[in-house]
Amino acid sequence: MQFNQNGSQLRGLLKEGFERSTNWAHTATALFVFATDFLKQLIPNGMGWLAGGALALPMFVWLAVYFRKLSRELGWSIIVFCLITASLAIGMLGLQYALGEKGEKDGALVALVPGLKGLQEQLSNIAKDVAGVRKTTERTETKVEGVGKTTERTETKVEGVGKTTERTETKVDAYSAEFRREFKTVLAQVAREKGVEVAPLRAVLDKLGEKGVADENIPKKLNDAADELIKLRTKNDLLKKGPPQIAAIATEAQSLIDKGEFDAARAVLARGWQAWKESGQNSSRYEAQLLAQEAGIDHLQLAYRSAAYKYGEYGEGERGTEELTEAVAAYREALKERTRERVPLGWAMTQMDLGNALGMLGERESGTGTLTEAVAAYREALKEYTRERVPLDWARTQVNLGNALGTLGERESGTGKLTEAVAAYREALKEYTRERDPLEWAGTQMSLGTALETLGERERGTGKLEEAVAAYREALNEQTRERVPLNWARTQVSLGTALARLGERESGTGTLTEAVAAYREALKEYTPQTDPTNYQLTMKNLNQVLTLLKKRSGKKGAVH
C-alpha cells in the first residue's frame, strides 16, 4: 500500500482513526492519564514517560501499517489513541506545573481535590510496606551451612468427605538455633539473677531476633522482659486468691507463660475475661486485671500498640497510675516502628493515643509536666491529621487538645492555656457541626463553655462568662432531657454555675434568678434516690444563689 503524504490524505486517515477509536480511546486515555497523575508519589516521572512514549509509538505503528504488518484500521486507531494520550499528558504536566509545589509533588488531581490525599497516602504506604518487607537476617550465614534455606511443611486436613486443604509454612530454623546459641549464656544469667524460667525468655529472644534488634541492646531487653515476667507472676498470684473461676484462669495462664507459650496464655486470659464478663457477677475489677495481664503478654511479644491500648483500658478504670505509665511507655515504643515517614496516618493515630494516655495520667498526677507532654503529642498528631485530609480525626484531636489545655490552664496561673483551649474547641466546631453530629457538637459546646467559664472567672468583666452561658445553652439544644438525661442535668448545673458567677458581677437579680431555674431543672434528674452526691452538690449551689438573691432583694425568711 502506498501512502500519499499530502495534507488532505493525512487528515483523512486521522479522521478515520478518530472515528474508529471514539468508542474506547477517549475514556481509556482519560483514565490512563488521571491514574498516572494520582500515582505521582509512587511514579514521580510517570507523566513525562507517558507523554514521551505516546509521542514515540505512532512512528512504529505507522511503519507496521506501511509494511502491512498491521491493518490500516487498527493502526490508525492506535495512532489516534497515542496522540490523544500525549495531548492529555502534556496538558496534565502543564497543570501540575501551574499548581506549584503541591501539584508537582502530589499531582494535579490531589492538589485540586484535597480529599484524595488520604487515599493517595494509603496507596503509598501499602507500596512502601511491600517494598520494605525485611529479608531474613543473614548474621549466621558464615557460621551455619544452609542458613537462609527454607523448609516446607505441608499439612493436610480433611474438611468434609473427600475435601482436603494444604498449607505450606516457611521457617528459618538454622537462624533461630544459632541466634539462641549466641545468647545462651545471657539467657541463663538473666533467668538465674531474676528468678524466672528460661523458656519465656527464649521466646522473647526469638521475637527480638525477628524484629532485628541490635545485638548490643538484647541484654537490656531480656532484663526488661524478666521484670515484666515477674510482674505477670505477681499479679497472677493475686488473681489466684480470687474466686475459683478466676484462680483457675490465672493458674493455667501462668503455666503457659512459664513454658513460653505466650499466644496460648493470651487466649486463656481472653476466654476467661469474656466468660467472667458474661457470668453477670458484679465485679469489673477482675475483668480489668485479666485485661492487664493480656497487655503484659503483648508487651513481651513487642506488640506495643496492642499492649498500650489494654494498659490504657485497665488504667482508665483504676485509681493509680502504674498501668497508665505502662501504656505511655508502650505507645512510645510503638512510635519507634510506626514512624511518620513510613505510616503518616498510623503515626498520627499513635500520637493521639499517646496524648490520651498522658492526659489521663496527668489528671491523676500533681504538677503540669505530664499534661504538657499530652499537649505536645496532640500537636504532633495534627501535623498529619489535617482538616483537609481527615476532617473528623482532625476535629477529635482538636477536642482532645482543648481538654488537655483546659486542665493545664486550671492548674497554671494566667489565662494563656485556657485561651488556647477555647481556640482548639472552636476549631473542632468547624467540622463537628450540629447537622453532621448533633451530640458531638453539643459535647464540644459543653467543653467550650467550661473553658470560657474558667477563663471568665480569671478575667475582669462579664464577656467570657456571657460566652460560656451561650455555649451551655447551645449544648442544651441537643442534650435534651429525653435523649441524654444525665448529660442534660450536668449541663444545667454548669449553666447555673456560669449564670451565678455572672450574676455576682452584675447588679439586679435577673441573672441570679436564671441560675436558680437552671439548678432546679437539674434536680429533676439529680434526686436523693438516683444520684445523692450530685443532688447534694446541686442543692448546695442552689442555696448559695438563693441566699444571695435574698440579700439583694431585701427579703427576709427561709431559703427554699
Question: Do the beta carbons of residue 96 and residue 107 sit within 8 Å?
Answer: yes
Fold observed for domain 432-560: 1.25.40
Q: Which residue has the higher pLDDT, 130 or 284?
A: 284
Per-residue confidence at 24, pLDDT binned at 50, 70, 90?
Answer: low
Q: State how far the Cα of 292 lies from the Cα of 407, in Å rounded to an integer.
A: 27
Strand partners for 115: none
d(CA 323, CA 314): 7
Retrieve residue 435's grid coordinates: 447537622
What does the DSSP 8-state code read for residue 152? E
For residue 460 the three cell numbers come to: 475582669
The 3-state DSSP class for residue 27 equals helix
Range with lowest mean pLDDT among 82-86, 116-120, 383-387: 116-120
User: Which residue did the predictor score with more confidence, 196 or 451?
Assistant: 451
Average pLDDT, the chain: 78
Amino acid at 59: M
pLDDT score of 19 more than 90? no
Q: What is the spatial distance between Cα 298 and Cα 266, in angstroms, rounded to a whole number?
A: 8
Q: Which pLDDT value is given to residue 132?
A: 43
* Residue in the block written with cell 502543564: 94
Q: pLDDT (tens digit, 9 = 90+) per residue, 96-105?
A: 777 766 666 6
Contacting residues for 74 by C-beta, under 8 A, at least 6 apart: none
pLDDT the model gives residue 158 = 35
What residue spans define the domains of the chain?
A: 7-129, 432-560
What's the rounded Cα separation, in Å, for the pair 282 and 97?
66
- Is 177 a residue whose pLDDT tops 60? no
Q: Give the integer Cα–Cα distance in Å for 555 and 560.
A: 13
Q: Tell me the per-residue pLDDT of 285-301, one tens digit each, with 9 for 90 and over.
A: 676 777 777 777 777 77
Please give the Cα distance from 539 to 431 (Å, whole number): 37
pLDDT higher than threshold 90 for residue 117 = no
* Residues in Cβ contact with 125 at an 8 Å cutoff, skipping those fewer than 6 apart: 342, 343, 344, 345, 346
pLDDT digits (tens, 9 = 90+) for 457-474: 998 889 999 999 999 999
- Tell me the per-residue pLDDT of 371-381, one tens digit each, with 9 for 90 and over: 999 999 999 99
pLDDT beyond 80 at 509: yes
When pLDDT is averaged across residues 477-502 and rounded to a whole number, the result is 94
pLDDT value of residue 163: 41
Looking at residue 145, its pLDDT comes to 38
Neighbours of 536 (CB within 10 A): 12
List the alpha helices (DSSP H) in 195-260: 198-210, 218-239, 244-258
Residue type, 215: D
Would you say 508 and 523 are in contact if contact means Cβ atoms under 8 Å apart? no
Helix, strand, coil percentages, rounded to 5, for the chain: 70, 5, 25
Of 467, 439, 473, the residue nearest 455 (C-alpha): 467
CB 359 within 8 A of CB 369: no
Percentage, residues of the chain above pLDDT 70: 73
Q: What is the pLDDT of residue 138?
A: 38
* Per-range mean pLDDT, top range of 37-46, 63-72, 276-285, 338-347: 338-347
Q: What is the pLDDT of residue 524?
A: 95
Amino acid code (one letter) for 292: A
Mean pLDDT along residues 307-321 = 62
Minimum mean pLDDT range among 29-38, 118-127, 519-528: 118-127
pLDDT at position 277 over 60: yes
Work out the pLDDT band at 91, boundaries 50, 70, 90.
confident
**Residue 5, by phi and psi: left (phi above 0), alpha (psi -120 to 50) or beta?**
alpha
pLDDT at 135 over 70: no
Helices (H), 99-116: 101-106, 108-112
Cα separation, 304 vs 300, in Å, equals 9
pLDDT tens digits, one per residue of 365-418: 888 999 999 999 999 999 999 999 999 999 999 999 999 999 999 998 889 999
Contact 179, 209 (CB under 8 A): yes
Question: Can you give the pTM of this predicted structure?
Answer: 0.58
Higher pLDDT, 142 or 219: 219
C-alpha dihedral sign at 72, 77, 80, 82: negative
Confidence of residue 307 (pLDDT cuts 50, 70, 90): low
